[in-house]
Structure 1
């Protein structure tokens, strides 16, 4: 459940609100009883490592033979036709 704060004195409240968000709490900002924004901690995204799937995907000879594509492209049940 998010804490709800009115936007009456945002400058005075900002430091305290940021401290609460850093502690893991979500804060909803409301104006005239309507939520206009939500503050939440910014998560650190994990760094993706290039080559993580190296050697795990194998293309067999003929995987892209054109005769298979003709049958696939001429499918009468294709919803995009």
Structure 2
């Protein structure tokens, strides 16, 4: 079953140690991408500063911004790692 979660990227670090993007989620799952978007905008008060993760079980299949799927494999792997999820190989 395909489900969607809100994924919040945050740049963390400083000039001395460098910067990297970390990914967070409340892991509330939705069967509809529009409900996940609404959750991010309204309930989490993130305006449009979030991504949507497409899940199948504990596997992160894709990241998207609203309805636009992102195609950066390294970002997908990094997000999955931060969220303790697998990725489709």
Same fold (TM over 0.5): no
Q: Which has the larger radius of gyration?
A: 1
TM-score by length of 1: 0.30
Structure with higher RCO (Cα < 8 A, 6+ apart): 2
